[in-house]
């Protein structure tokens, strides 16, 4: 569960949305889920004052490709990148490889770019659990990822970075 202040969208810093460019990279695997994450993320960005023309959406095949997609978006001068995917466990170890690669890669890309690169990847055992996290009883993890991006950008702005 998200913490209280976070789920209420409260940050310790003020976000200055003017002139920000935000990248969103979306995996096509489990598209029926990732499109809901995308809608949730875009809604939050609009609410926080990011204009549609300053949101760059890039679609990639699967969650494994999210880090490379994020790298491409940072090369387009994005101030933050939100990575959206959904990995549902199957009968093979593929799940673990894809999840680990996505998590490690997203962290690495963000640290290399020295900018927020947010892990908005749902990793679940079942389809039902994924639905619950894409606008169901556990909220929308795409929206939470967008809030995380806004918070981290505001932290950088607070430090004048």
Active site residues: 94
- Determine if 31 is a binding residue for ligand DLZ (CB under 6 A): no
Place of tokens 């900018």: 115
C-alpha 92: how far from chain center? 26
Stretch of residues binding ligand DLZ (CB under 6 A), selected from 12-20, 59-67, 105-113, 146-154 = 59-67
Least distance (Å) between residue 125 CB and ligand DLZ: 11
By rule CB under 6 A, what string of x and - marks binding of each residue 79-98 to ligand DLZ?
Answer: ------xxxx-x---x---x
By rule CB under 6 A, what string of x and - marks binding of each residue 10-29 to ligand DLZ?
Answer: -----------------x-x
Number of residues that bind ligand DLZ (CB under 6 A): 15
Place of tokens 């959406």: 57
DSSP states of 82-98 as a string?
Answer: EEEEEEE--SSTHHHHH
Cα–Cα distance measured from residue 28 to residue 42, given in angstroms and rounded to the nearest whole number: 17
Query: Which CB, 13 or 29, lies closer to ligand DLZ?
Result: 29
Least distance (Å) between residue 139 CB and ligand DLZ: 20
Binding residue (CB under 6 A) for ligand DLZ from 16, 61, 96, 125: 61
DSSP states of 5-50 as a string?
Answer: HHHTT--SS----TT--EEEEEE-TTHHHHHHHHHHHHHHHHHTT-
Stretch of residues binding ligand DLZ (CB under 6 A), selected from 51-59, 60-68, 131-139, 140-148 = 60-68
Kind of pairing between the strands at 134-136 and 139-140: antiparallel
| Angle CA 151–155–156, to nearest 5 | 120
Binding residues vs ligand DLZ (CB under 6 A): 27, 29-30, 61-65, 85-88, 90, 94, 98
């Amino acid at each position: 569960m998200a913490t209280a202040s976070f789920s209420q969208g409260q940050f310790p810093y003020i976000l200055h949305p003017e002139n920000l460019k935000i990248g969103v990279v979306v995996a096509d695997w489990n598209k029926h889920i990732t499109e809901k994450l995308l809608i949730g993320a875009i809604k939050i960005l609009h609410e926080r004052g990011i204009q549609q023309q300053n949101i760059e959406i890039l679609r990639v095949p699967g969650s494994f490709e999210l880090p490379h997609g994020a790298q491409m978006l940072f090369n387009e001068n994005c101030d933050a990148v939100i990575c959206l995917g959904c990995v549902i466990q199957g009968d093979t170890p593929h799940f673990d490889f894809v999840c680990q690669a996505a998590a490690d890669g997203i962290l690495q890309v963000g640290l290399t770019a020295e900018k927020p690169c947010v892990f908005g990847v749902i990793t679940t055992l079942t389809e039902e659990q994924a639905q619950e996290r894409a606008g169901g009883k556990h909220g929308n993890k795409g929206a939470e990822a967008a809030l995380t991006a806004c918070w981290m950008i505001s932290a950088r702005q607070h430090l004048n970075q």
